[in-house]
Structure 1
């Protein structure tokens, strides 16, 4: 029998779609020793648990030059004599000092290997300081192609910022550059030409005017923080503050626009910041960093989720640079960067993937958070319309989960396809309070932790009471959509099965007779009768509004 394909959803793999969030790295087919040194959590990295950094860096802006030192405080997890830290090869290691003496070191690509004079004993707390200098990589298109970004504002004042997700913080300062080990706390000291300000993560402890025409700003981060989140933002900034009455009490809000954008900022950020916090505390639980406060900082680049100091470059417009990414109209009612980048405080900053290959944990949940924000303000139907509307941006080019141990993320579909996947998971669970409890439970269970694919998928499966592993497997490990195939039997009845790559794929899906009520069916990968009285290929409807799937009808 000849089959004809009837797609009730548009398969985005056939479209040439503009993918707004370009990936944070090049699409590699093969990997090198340098990739492994950067991405692999080797024994030379696992031998020490980083506890504290003091980053003390001076920015010579006219020469695009930086110099300074970083204090590493750590706990030994085993006996060792050698460890690895990371610093891009274009930056010079001046010396490594331990207990008053310089340590020998070697370099290979962007990795630095330090040898200690005697074994460091398991359980001991030690420290060393790295002195370094050089011209850091200049960002070509921050935040997607990162580094240090040198600009001037519209009045000609220097305006400098860092953005290094994916590329890694070692592009501008020495550290253990691996997402699996977050430092417990950090002091960030940035020295800038007097007259400018530096705004970094956490709380401002002290401002010191130095003798050489520079001023040092000391910012302290009390919570665990990933290296790529640590930031410098240097410019002619103004400041205003507010508070938010949140789930854990009063949360301090600090806003740092460029001086001439103060009034714009008060209006735009005032309209968006508190509604965002209200929505996300409802869905995800308390803002994860009350001790460090919440900040918005104007940047030249579009934005980045720098923990407790979100970088903002959306030009005080609603939407994404004035555009609605969903095409529904809902995306023009709020500021995309305030909402999206702040959503990362929960997924990305609070819950951090151990490996960049699982960056979907950051981006899929945060993309989905946009629709939850819309729902919180304008109702569930609006939120569902928003997430459905983003499908035209999906390209289905390759798996969303990237290769592990080589510092490489997967497909940019982690945004829009990932958001639609999570909306499907909610639809399958079919209990909005349970779903909200799962989202809040994720942020409580994995509070300030780094996680794996299995951590997240197993948690959702266990809490939902439904085996969702094959669903996550299909959408995250394969580029193809599952196809819901219907066949008319010799008896004139409909049979149904899934065509899918994932082993044991059996996703429940909602169907109905036209004019009737939706009900759930649970097809497998073998044809089984569709036991809904009166269904034919002409009167059957599948819920393709909430399910991102293909349909095949004979």
Structure 2
């Protein structure tokens, strides 16, 4: 019973880890889901190029106001634009070329009728003003919105988080993953005694008698949910990491009372950078630097502004999610959330239904961090240990075009799928180059599952169609069914998709060898009853 309770507790942690659980388990979809999750005609005709997000935060009222200047390229003529902003926030006005435009609201979608003819290839600008009391995140980051908290000295401690729920919960934007803005400025007006921190580099501090006004610039493409506002009684320290592309500025913003513990604890950050540049290639955002920013919730993968709230503990709030002990060798939030810089921020899913690309690869990065510092056995122990968290409740891929993510198994079922694929490659250096190649081939791009599948099939030299159909699109785990009788091993795959024929390493008579099971029974002569399946393969077995 004790082991069951421990496993069940871990399952609960993973099932809510990082992304807004509001989207999980939803089977009936609404008109609003379609407006939020599909590339509507009012989105498809224009391409984002630049945002200037200007936001004033009034902590006492839990209120924000501001504007977003939206620059875009016309792909084809159209006269209606969709901009998203969720209630209770409101758009107060929209202008183009000093002309006020008509706005029609349909739930969170705002349809703006443009006066100026939209000519293919031209660059145009829209100015959107907004205000309101944004949704308060009661249990961030899982429910999302604004966190209005106090630090131990009673000062305001504020942060945003909105993965899944959408950035339109607090600012007006083109709220779909497929189109990332090329660059943006973020100007934050905060109370005078507090420091506002956002993505990219700090480029300007405005002198004001009653407020702190900081402007940040993001030089690289960024997804909407990666944009964040953090306000606190911060102090800053930094270091320079000698990386694959030269000097990388690594900045840390922490509450003043945590400065000394952070200086010691954040040593995991350059260790992370060294390991992940080895496995995945250069950090994708040298121009924007890397930041860890303390926040009043667990943490999130905000691009170049990774947020941290793991209470300066090893593991996940002091727990080892693998149950092996290896999970206490690193701070889970630093390693996992920073790993998203490669998978989520560099390579981003076009549709949230494919969010396994973010979470599967990033969960897999946890054991690659261990591999780099502690070796392959430690890495395998960890990822295999996380199988206790897998529920197999529904497929990893969600429903497309309705803002629906797949199972929370995308974390550790995704990681174990990739660990299994590493075994099929049979060449660790080739596998490393494939991971690096993904981050080069799809550098700063939004992608589909098919693009990732095709890349891995092509570069592995293996047709992985059925492999991915099995692990991504069903809840069935391949089961090696076998019988040993009178010196003969009889074996086959069960619980599989059509044409699944993954080879598997086994130990027979004390020697490692490959078997090539199919749905039909096969036989092999063996000398004894000694038979074991390699633990690195995420499969079940059934001895008859």
1:37 Cα offset (Å) = 0.4
Aligned to 1:472: 468
Equivalent residues in 2 for 1:139-150 (5 A)? 139-150=137-148
Q: Is the 8 A contact 1:400 1:410 kept in 2?
A: yes
Aligned residues between the structures = 536
Aligned to 1:251: 248
Q: Structure 2 CA distance, aligned partners of 1:526 and 1:99?
A: 69
TM-score (norm. length: structure 1): 0.94
1:535 Cα offset (Å) = 5.5
Partner of residue 298 from structure 1, selected from 275, 294, 299:
294
Q: Structure 2 CA distance, aligned partners of 1:175 and 1:214?
A: 26
Aligned to 1:437: 433
Deviations 1:422-463 (A, max 9, x none): 000001111001100100000000000000000101101110
Q: Structure 2 CA distance, aligned partners of 1:384 and 1:73?
A: 47
2:129 partner SS? strand
1:25 Cα offset (Å) = 2.9
Aligned to 1:352: 348
Aligned to 1:4: none
1:11 Cα offset (Å) = 13
1:219 Cα offset (Å) = 0.2
Q: Is the 8 A contact 1:308 1:345 kept in 2?
A: yes
Kindly tell me: are residues 316 and 17 of structure 1, through their superposed partners in 2, closer, same or farther at Cα, counting changes over 3 Å?
closer
Q: Is the 8 A contact 2:399 2:405 kept in 1?
A: yes
Kindly tell me: are residues 417 and 54 of structure 1, through their superposed partners in 2, closer, same or farther at Cα, counting changes over 3 Å?
same
Deviations 1:281-322 (A, max 9, x none): 000000000000010000111010000011000111111111
Aligned to 2:411: 415
Q: Structure 2 CA distance, aligned partners of 1:142 and 1:110?
A: 21
Kindly tell me: are residues 179 and 11 of structure 1, through their superposed partners in 2, closer, same or farther at Cα, counting changes over 3 Å?
farther
1:487 Cα offset (Å) = 4.4
Partner of residue 515 from structure 2, selected from 489, 509, 521:
521
1:43 Cα offset (Å) = 1.8
Q: Structure 1 CA distance, aligned partners of 2:410 and 2:12?
A: 11
Larger mean CA deviation between 467-476 and 283-292 belongs to: 467-476
Q: Is the 8 A contact 1:25 1:145 kept in 2?
A: yes
1:156 partner SS? coil
Equivalent residues in 2 for 1:100-115 (5 A)? 100-115=98-113
Verify: 1:20 aligned to 2:3, yes or no: no
Equivalent residues in 2 for 1:289-328 (5 A)? 289-328=285-324
1:500 Cα offset (Å) = 3.2
Partner of residue 371 from structure 1, selected from 367, 392, 398:
367
TM-score (norm. length: structure 2): 0.96
Q: Structure 1 CA distance, aligned partners of 2:420 and 2:484?
A: 27
Structure 2 residue runs of 5 or longer lacking an equivalent are: none
1:372 partner SS? helix
Kindly tell me: are residues 464 and 430 of structure 1, through their superposed partners in 2, closer, same or farther at Cα, counting changes over 3 Å?
same
Q: Structure 2 CA distance, aligned partners of 1:153 and 1:433?
A: 46
Q: Structure 1 CA distance, aligned partners of 2:195 and 2:506?
A: 59
Q: Structure 2 CA distance, aligned partners of 1:187 and 1:535?
A: 70
Verify: 1:552 aligned to 2:532, yes or no: no
Larger mean CA deviation between 23-32 and 330-339 belongs to: 23-32
Deviations 1:203-259 (A, max 9, x none): 001111335x22211000000000000000001000011100000000001110101
Q: Structure 2 CA distance, aligned partners of 1:126 and 1:535?
A: 76
Aligned to 1:264: 261
Q: Structure 1 CA distance, aligned partners of 2:280 and 2:431?
A: 10
Aligned to 1:136: 134
Q: Structure 1 CA distance, aligned partners of 2:457 and 2:447?
A: 16
Equivalent residues in 2 for 1:182-197 (5 A)? 182-197=180-195
Partner of residue 425 from structure 1, selected from 415, 418, 421:
421
Q: Structure 2 CA distance, aligned partners of 1:448 and 1:471?
A: 27
1:231 partner SS? coil
Verify: 1:219 aligned to 2:216, yes or no: yes
Larger mean CA deviation between 40-49 and 447-456 belongs to: 40-49
1:373 partner SS? helix
Aligned to 1:209: 207
CA RMSD of aligned residues (A): 1.7
**Using CA pairs below 8 Å that are at least 6 residues apart, which structure has the higher relative contact order?**
1
1:89 Cα offset (Å) = 2.5
Q: Structure 2 CA distance, aligned partners of 1:134 and 1:246?
A: 43
Aligned to 1:507: 502
Q: Is the 8 A contact 1:194 1:209 kept in 2?
A: no
1:18 partner SS? helix
Aligned to 1:231: 228
Equivalent residues in 2 for 1:476-491 (5 A)? 476-487=472-483
1:108 Cα offset (Å) = 0.6
Verify: 1:49 aligned to 2:39, yes or no: no
1:119 partner SS? coil
Q: Structure 1 CA distance, aligned partners of 2:536 and 2:159?
A: 40
1:503 Cα offset (Å) = 2.5
Aligned to 1:403: 399
Verify: 1:539 aligned to 2:530, yes or no: yes
2:134 partner SS? coil
Kindly tell me: are residues 355 and 385 of structure 1, through their superposed partners in 2, closer, same or farther at Cα, counting changes over 3 Å?
same
Greater than 6 Å deviation, 4+ residue runs: none
Deviations 1:121-161 (A, max 9, x none): 11111010110100000001111110000000000010000
Q: Structure 2 CA distance, aligned partners of 1:547 and 1:246?
A: 34
Deviations 1:349-387 (A, max 9, x none): 000000001110000000000000001011111111111
1:514 Cα offset (Å) = 3.8
Kindly tell me: are residues 535 and 24 of structure 1, through their superposed partners in 2, closer, same or farther at Cα, counting changes over 3 Å?
farther
2:11 partner SS? coil
